[in-house]
Amino acid sequence: MVTNAPAHSAHRQPFARVLLASALVAASAAVAAPRTVEAADGSRDDGRNGGKYVLTVAVSQSVDSLSPFLAQRLVSTSLHRLMYEYLTNYDVKDAHPIPGFATEWTASPDKLTWTYKIRRNSTWSDGRPATAMDAAWTFNRMMADENAATANGSFTANFKKVTAPDPETLVIELKKPQATMSALDVPIVPKHVWEKVGDFSKFNNDKQFPVVGNGPYILTDFKVDQYVKLKPNPGFWRGVPVFDELVFKYYKDGDAAVAALRKGEVSFVSGLTPAQAASLGSAGNIKVNDAPGRRFFALATNPGARSQDGGRFGSGHPALLDPAVRKALFHAVDRKSIVDKVFQGHAVEGEGYIPPRFTSYFWKPSPGRRIDYDPAEAARLLDRAGYRRNSSGRRVGEDGRALDFRLLCHATDPNDKAVGKYLQEWWGELGIALKVDCLDNVSDPWVKGDYDLAFDGWSVNPDPDFVLSIHTCSALPATPKDTGATDNFICDKKYDELYEQQAAEYDPARRAELVRQMQARLYDIGYMNVMAYPNAVEAYRTDQIKSITTMPENGGNIYGQDGYWSWWSAKPAAAAAHGGSGAGASRTPLTIGIAMAAVVVIAGAVLTAWRRRATADDRE
């Protein structure tokens, strides 16, 4: 059981309220005065731009949806962590589950009934209280509507019943034990807003602003492939962020984003190439952060797009259904060269499905199992499988069809393009032709199964259940007309059996062993080749951002965290110079601080006489 003391509201006496109100009125003229913000170069903003502290984050990934029921991309799920509370969060030091929307949780002896105490000091940004009824509605909607379960359905598939006996109590009954009950990565949405939605498959939550939420930030504006704008939620229970505005600004070209960082047009850039990181390392007012990442970078094959009803679709090359062909391709991938030449050391050579950052789940193949770089073995495998060279040196099957493959590539990812060139070279020596299709939108051909191979990668959460679930048979689309939650149409009975076992295993050591067995199975069936675990290489302007929290705190990443710690904690450089104290502190600069000092002087006696008991702030 995890507990945290709930906050209690004390009642102030009328006389105290009157005096405090008078003091605020007296100070109002000074508070209303335009801000004066001193920049790092000594210049001063005269207020023509509002004098706001704006944190601008350059992103290269398009938002797939602002609906938490549909979104799966990192940029979108990162936004949802800012907009909505989850039942639990992850500790910034070691990622263990900590209170979020729920302050504590307990399980029945048989582990089939879980009771969550919902915090009393969380409100929706429209002023309505956030309660257990909102959580119950969110989960029930996912259980009843397959479209609402698109993004996170793996968490609720085992739910039997969800109820809210009162505003502060949420009860979840399970069909069988479920190990993820303290790590349900599902955004809780406001019932009074979302119950009006008709078709969840088409509602993207991008028409009405501001978007109602209860997280640290409120989404105020959005333009496709241009920007997302957010403002601090003044009622956020953990404390109000210091920056006045948070902007995610889209850059298709990484060099353009870096140029914007140099000019001070953006505050932060992630996904730096080694050359970009090296050039920024000597730039003034810029700090480069290079940390072990939580992502993997993989090469995925199309195992034959299919749906749960048995329908087959797509245009994947049939030769990739042959395990020998897939193994030959992977034997012709030099992972060490990819780490050394493409990532230039800012990555670790890939092995299992879960990055080494997650030590308890990390798996690596034994020497006899490992598919090492061995072009000669790749050639022998193809020969034995009947794919021999013709007079032109091309590999051709017994059906006369050449091994000509298409590789889906993200146009905004320079690593995709660089590795694609190496694959063309390595596979070309085997007699295999490769066309690298670098597209702005890889999602459409992917969900339609219109690819042979694709560059793949996911950010892994501290609890790996979700990233494991996307390879289960139940993640396949129900029919060829649906999309499902599958990554690349893998469906393997043995893998599914292991998934079910780990999902119901509460013993950490036994569950970790099952997760490692699942990775071994993925490795052996050979539909994916994890090539590297890239570092999180990112940079920010120190004249705009005074301090920001990494995760883990000691040498971790900033962008794409398992929580909202980075953007919630970020402190503006100018605010720090004026004495700001981080998240939860006053967001006002010196002029307003002087005005508020008057309030303190006038009301000091009142607050002394009518001092109320300090409340718990539920901070972790």
Q: Cis (ω within 30 of 0) for the bond into 216?
A: no
- Number of alpha carbons in the 13 Å side-chain half-sphere of residue 126: 12
Lowest mean pLDDT among 157-166, 195-204, 291-300, 480-489: 480-489
Q: What integer pLDDT is reported at residue 6 of this predicted model? A: 33
The count of structural domains within the chain is 2
Question: CA–CA separation, 464 vs 459, rounded Å?
Answer: 10
Q: Which residues pair with 436 in a beta bridge?
A: 407
Identify the domain boundary among 490, 512, 534: 534
Q: Which residues of 68-90 are buried (b: 16+ CB within 10 A; e: fewer)?
A: bbbbbbbbbbbbbbbbbbbbbbb
Residues 6 or more apart whose CB falls under 8 angstroms from that of 591 comprise 30, 33, 34, 35, 36
163 and 303 in a single domain? The answer is no
Phi, psi values for residue 156, rounded to 5°? -105, -5
Residue 455 inside a domain? The answer is yes
Domain of 345, CATH number, reads: 3.10.105.10
Residue 373 inside a domain? The answer is yes
Residue 613 pLDDT greater than 90, yes or no:
no
Identify the domain boundary among 171, 194, 217: 194
Residue 363 pLDDT greater than 90, yes or no:
yes
**DSSP secondary structure letters along 445-486:** HHHTT--SEEEE--BPPSSTHHHHHTTSGGGS-SSTTS--S-
Identify the domain boundary among 485, 502, 534: 534
Residue 35 inside a domain? The answer is no
Residue 6 inside a domain? The answer is no
DSSP class of 168: T
190 and 307 in a single domain? The answer is no
Question: Which residue range(s) make up the domain with 106?
Answer: 65-71+82-194
Asked if 164 contacts 129 with a C-beta cutoff of 8 angstroms, the reply is no
Residue 151 inside a domain? The answer is yes
Residue 600 inside a domain? The answer is no
Residue 434 pLDDT greater than 70, yes or no:
yes
Domain of 160, CATH number, reads: 3.90.76.10
What is the average pLDDT value for the chain, to the nearest integer?
A: 87
Task: Using pLDDT thresholds of 50, 70 and 90, give the confidence band for residue 305.
Answer: very high
Task: Using pLDDT thresholds of 50, 70 and 90, give the confidence band for residue 51.
Answer: confident
- Number of alpha carbons in the 13 Å side-chain half-sphere of residue 321: 9
The residue assigned the tokens 């008991």 is 613
Residue 574 inside a domain? The answer is no
Residue 582 pLDDT greater than 60, yes or no:
no
Q: What integer pLDDT is reported at residue 348 of this predicted model? A: 97
Kindly tell me the burial class for residue 590, based on how many C-beta atoms sit within 10 Å of its own C-beta (0-12, 13-18, 19 or more). Answer: middle
Question: CA–CA separation, 75 vs 379, rounded Å?
Answer: 41
pTM comes to: 0.82
Lowest mean pLDDT among 32-41, 105-114, 162-171: 32-41
336 and 476 in a single domain? The answer is yes
Asked if 33 contacts 591 with a C-beta cutoff of 8 angstroms, the reply is yes
Residue 58 inside a domain? The answer is no
Residue 155 structure tokens: 């968490």
Question: CA–CA separation, 104 vs 162, rounded Å?
Answer: 17
